[in-house]
């Protein structure tokens, strides 16, 4: 028997379609056996499969083309936005977060990250950086991110995907990222996730909060800052971060891009 599944594609961290980080949200209950195949078919950085469980609550499964994730940033924002304006409690394997959506965008609280210092050398070499001021592994929501803070420009990085994957595996990290301070309220970030089948990510909400906290500690940047990411891929993202040690929030604008039906 054929199964029809409605879906929407939305661009997160952008106020216009065909920019930002694209996300596929499958709106109808999807058989578990085909979730990974649907994510491979769409071949975006992530696809989500939410199920509304109550008034303002839902559970979600999150897939890349190669793996299921316990939590992720731009999929959380995009999923809540597709479900409708209001306050949502989202539960995934990585925990429960609150997402508030309106007509133009969404903002979410994030699990409090735990930081562990790391040796910057391997990441510096893998990304092709001339150097880094520090390296740290941030863990939150079941995800681990290796973050390198640098004063070097990031526009012309030439990472070695195999080396980046090896560094990520050694750190037991899902992503390897570089961050540079542009001014007290602006950070430039690039994020690479070859272990998840994503060579480079256009806009990574799950690492944005930890990066905002690290930037405050290292450079004294503002509690409210903007992360610029994805321009090198032709998918510019603006990620708004509230980097309070007591409560980290991440958000941005969203734009509808496409909708349709899977017939399986």
In this prediction, residues 160-182 reach a mean pLDDT of 98
pLDDT classification of 2: cutoffs 50, 70, 90: confident
pLDDT classification of 142: cutoffs 50, 70, 90: very high
**CATH number assigned to the domain comprising residue 58:** 3.10.310.10
Total-model pTM: 0.97
DSSP conformation class of 112: P
In this prediction, residues 108-119 reach a mean pLDDT of 96
Instruction: Assess whether 143 and 183 both reside in one domain.
Output: yes
Catalytic member of 46, 89, 200, 259:
46
Dihedral over alpha carbons 75, 78, 81, 82 (to 10 degrees): -100
Residue 33 burial (10 A CB sphere; 0-12, 13-18, 19+): exposed
Res. 75: pLDDT tops 70? yes
Q: How many residues does the chain have?
A: 264
In this prediction, residues 69-83 reach a mean pLDDT of 98
Instruction: Assess whether 152 and 193 both reside in one domain.
Output: yes
Instruction: Assess whether 210 and 227 both reside in one domain.
Output: yes
Instruction: Assess whether 95 and 127 both reside in one domain.
Output: no
Question: Residue holding tokens 């939410």?
Answer: 50
- pLDDT value at position 196? 95
In this prediction, residues 242-256 reach a mean pLDDT of 97
* pLDDT over 70 percentage in the chain: 100
Instruction: Assess whether 129 and 244 both reside in one domain.
Output: yes
The pair of three-digit structure tokens given for residue 190, joined into one six-digit string? 């690039």
Instruction: Assess whether 80 and 201 both reside in one domain.
Output: no
8: domain range?
4-107+253-263
Long-range Cβ contact pairs of 220-224 (< 8 A, separation 24 or more) = 220/184, 221/181, 221/184, 221/185, 221/187, 222/184, 222/185, 224/185
Instruction: Assess whether 186 and 205 both reside in one domain.
Output: yes
Res. 164: pLDDT tops 90? yes
Asked if 99 and 88 touch (Cβ cutoff 8 Å), the reply is yes
Structure confidence by residue, pLDDT tens digits, 26-50: 999 999 999 999 999 999 999 999 9
In this prediction, residues 139-168 reach a mean pLDDT of 97
Instruction: Assess whether 81 and 172 both reside in one domain.
Output: no
Instruction: Assess whether 118 and 242 both reside in one domain.
Output: yes
Res. 1: pLDDT tops 80? no
In this prediction, residues 172-180 reach a mean pLDDT of 98
Dihedral over alpha carbons 237, 163, 151, 110 (to 10 degrees): 50
In this prediction, residues 84-101 reach a mean pLDDT of 98
In this prediction, residues 142-148 reach a mean pLDDT of 98
Listed in sequence order, the residues at least 6 apart from 3 whose beta carbon sits closer than 8 Å to its beta carbon are: 31, 262, 263, 264
Asked if 49 and 60 touch (Cβ cutoff 8 Å), the reply is yes
Domain count, the chain: 2
In this prediction, residues 51-74 reach a mean pLDDT of 97
Q: Is 46 a catalytic residue?
A: yes
Instruction: Assess whether 202 and 130 both reside in one domain.
Output: yes
- pLDDT value at position 92? 98
Instruction: Assess whether 24 and 40 both reside in one domain.
Output: yes
Instruction: Assess whether 176 and 217 both reside in one domain.
Output: yes
């Amino acid at each position: 028997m054929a199964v029809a599944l409605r879906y929407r594609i939305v661009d997160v961290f952008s106020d216009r379609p065909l920019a930002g980080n694209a996300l596929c949200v499958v709106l109808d209950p999807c058989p578990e056996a085909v979730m990974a195949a649907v994510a491979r078919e769409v071949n975006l950085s992530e696809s989500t499969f939410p199920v509304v469980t109550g008034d303002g609550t839902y559970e979600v499964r999150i897939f890349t083309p190669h793996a299921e994730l316990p939590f992720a940033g731009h999929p959380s924002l995009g999923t809540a936005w597709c479900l409708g304006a209001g306050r949502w409690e989202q539960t995934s394997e990585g925990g429960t977060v609150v997402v508030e959506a309106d007509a133009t965008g969404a903002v979410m609280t994030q699990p409090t990250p735990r930081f562990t210092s790391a040796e910057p050398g391997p990441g510096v070499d893998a990304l092709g950086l001339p150097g880094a001021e520090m390296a740290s592994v941030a863990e939150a929501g079941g995800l681990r991110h290796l973050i390198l803070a640098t004063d070097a420009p990031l526009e012309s990085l030439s990472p070695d995907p195999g080396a980046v994957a090896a560094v990520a595996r050694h750190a037991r990290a899902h992503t390897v990222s570089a961050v540079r301070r542009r001014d007290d309220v602006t950070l430039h970030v690039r994020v690479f996730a070859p272990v998840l089948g994503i060579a480079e990510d256009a806009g990574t909400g799950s690492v944005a909060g930890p990066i905002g906290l690290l930037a405050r500690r290292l450079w004294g940047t503002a509690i409210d800052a903007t992360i610029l990411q994805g321009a090198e891929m032709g998918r510019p993202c603006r990620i708004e971060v509230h980097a309070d040690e007591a409560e980290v929030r991440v958000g941005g604008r969203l734009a509808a891009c496409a909708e349709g039906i899977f017939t399986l």
